[in-house]
Structure 1
């Protein structure tokens, strides 16, 4: 088994332990989108995509304070947690420090604005959200807040990912939310 195959299998085994049964599928969807966006993606990018939510359920949002600051702290801690967990898997699989550092930078979003692979990872996360998670999230989120979330997601995406997003099969309600998000917000009178 190659180091890549060993690492991918270890990520899948870890995510298969998710009590909700979501994270292994999420990792595979991330890889699918990365491959669709960049067919020649590096092993590090593919492994970072697969590990985007590695063992995420072990760090529940409920262990952080309510509100935006608690949410942001949780997200930042998760990035480091995922990077550390993936680093251990990569070392066990035989990867060197360069690959471990590269995947860490991808998962913690270091140099996102100048790193094409980091942008691809962000694009994949946004596209997975739009394609597979939007319906559930929109059902429990107030429409104006949902529009704001979609608007922020859109600004994180590359032009190529935005084009892909516009081609997704969405319900009329989802499409209406995306349309509202893409409209210019009303400015002060």
Structure 2
């Protein structure tokens, strides 16, 4: 990858390292969004080793500075949730664009990364679909089990079905190789039945 790419990744990581929210990973406390972005990169490169620079940067910047727009600042309704998500996408795209411009990427490349982060055409654009696949795979592998402790089975099955519907056939196959707990595997079977 280019020197610009390495600089962009370092700057994204620098931003995400400022997250005061922490997670424990391998016994070590790390900034939540830094860990998420690293998981996105690892999953993307496992899922699609030939991913373009634009796709790799979009994956790394997917949640850049996410903590700056807290969910609790929006109504706890479906409309509130959607507005929060849309505002986050705009912020992520703008922050990524500023970083990419600062390291010398041209406007066409910057716009491509911003388009991918916005996830406007993920069923039509192959890179957008790949990014959505990776988002779903990372959620299933690293975050679903904790999420499941906070919700009833009916809600979890609904979430699994919505997640599954966003994914490509290739991602479905990949997801079924994740070593889920017995409870999660049972929920997935119910969701897919």
- Shorter chain as denominator, the TM-score bin is over 0.9
TM-score, normalised with respect to structure 2: 0.93
Which residue pairs with 2:145 in the alignment? 135
Deviations 1:16-64 (A, max 9, x none): 0111111111111111111122111111100000001000000000111
Which residue pairs with 2:100 in the alignment? 90
Divergent runs of 4+, >4 A: none
Give matches, 1:2-21, under 5 Å. Answer: 2-20=3-21, 21=31
Report the secondary structure of 1:140's partner residue. coil
Give matches, 1:7-156, under 5 Å. Answer: 7-20=8-21, 21-156=31-166
Instruction: For 2:180 and 2:160, locate their aligned partners in 1 and report how far apart those are by CA, in whole Å.
Output: 14
Which residue pairs with 2:192 in the alignment? 182
Instruction: For 2:49 and 2:66, locate their aligned partners in 1 and report how far apart those are by CA, in whole Å.
Output: 27
Instruction: For 1:155 and 1:62, locate their aligned partners in 2 and report how far apart those are by CA, in whole Å.
Output: 27
Structure 1 stretches of 5 or more lacking a match? 184-189
TM-score, normalised with respect to structure 1: 0.95
Instruction: For 1:143 and 1:99, locate their aligned partners in 2 and report how far apart those are by CA, in whole Å.
Output: 43
| Aligned length in residues | 183
Shift of 1:66: 1.1
Instruction: For 2:123 and 2:183, locate their aligned partners in 1 and report how far apart those are by CA, in whole Å.
Output: 32
CA RMSD for the aligned pairs?
A: 0.9
Higher share in strand:
2
Instruction: For 2:46 and 2:127, locate their aligned partners in 1 and report how far apart those are by CA, in whole Å.
Output: 13
Instruction: For 1:89 and 1:79, locate their aligned partners in 2 and report how far apart those are by CA, in whole Å.
Output: 15
